[in-house]
Amino acid sequence: MSLFKQVMMILSATLAGTSWAAAKDQINPTLLKQRWSAQWIAHPTASVHEFGVYHFRKSFQLDKKPDSFIVHVSADNRYRLFINGNPISEGPARGDLSHWRYETVDLAPYLKTGTNVLAAVVWNYADDKPWAQISYHTAFLLQGNDAACKQVNTNTEWKVYHNPAYSTIPVHDTTLRAFVAVGPGEQLDGAKYPWGW
């Protein structure tokens, strides 16, 4: 079994978030005991081991606004999650390959009847990642909490775009003559950015 598959299995048994007591009641107990049906997804042609910023997106329909729509989300290295243009979550909390983390989020307050758009931006800082960042390779994961929410599970229906507008501004300890634990700076070329994605 590959290391990433092992991480996926461990992921379903590990929770990180702002409050275990508040979040544990929202998690479908089945998800803590069996393999998730969502898939880790990545760009189909870009290197999963080099620096990159990726935009993931899925549109879905709702017949009515739900009272609750809980999802569990993670990425390697880092992500920001949006629903209908609203920033909802970022993470994951730091862990390691044996204790990968995810956040549990209720999207319901930001959903509407009709078409909804779920989106994420995922960064992989590769060799320039912060000292505390453990990484396997670029990937994104989103799992619906129950049958109604599984329509947004990450799979081949999600669109992904490799954003060429980003580049890193590395900070090296040899240049600063000091130990550097933080990640790189970022440079953004607005002419290359996919505005409206």
CATH code, 58: 2.60.120.260
Strand-pair partners of 57: 119, 159
What is the count of structural domains for the chain?
1
Inside any domain, residue 64: yes
* pLDDT above 90: residue 149: yes
Residues contacting residue 88 through CB under 8 Å, at least 6 positions apart: 81, 82, 105, 107, 110
Q: 123 — phi, psi (to 5°)?
A: -110, 140
Inside any domain, residue 9: yes
Inside any domain, residue 24: yes
Q: How far apart are CA 159 and CA 76, in angstroms?
A: 17
Inside any domain, residue 197: no
Residues contacting residue 87 through CB under 8 Å, at least 6 positions apart: 80, 81
Q: Return the ∠ at Cα 33 (arms to 29 and 39), rounded to 5°.
A: 100
Kindly state the greatest CA–CA separation across the chain.
Answer: 59
The model's pLDDT over 80-139, given as tens digits with 9 standing for 90+, comes to 999 999 999 999 888 888 888 999 999 999 999 999 999 999 999 888 777 677 788 999
Inside any domain, residue 79: yes
Please give the C-alpha separations between residue 171 and each of 78, 131, 176, 181, in angstroms, as whole numbers.
19, 12, 8, 9
Inside any domain, residue 115: yes
pLDDT confidence of 75, banded at 50, 70, 90?
very high
Long-range contacts (CB closer than 8 Å, 24 or more residues apart) made by 167-170: 167/51, 168/51, 168/125, 168/128, 170/128
Inside any domain, residue 179: no
Average pLDDT, the chain: 85
pLDDT for the residue numbered 182: 82
pLDDT for the residue numbered 95: 83
Inside any domain, residue 178: no
Give residue 105's domain range: 3-165
Using the structure block, give the residue that is written with the tokens 């209908």: 84
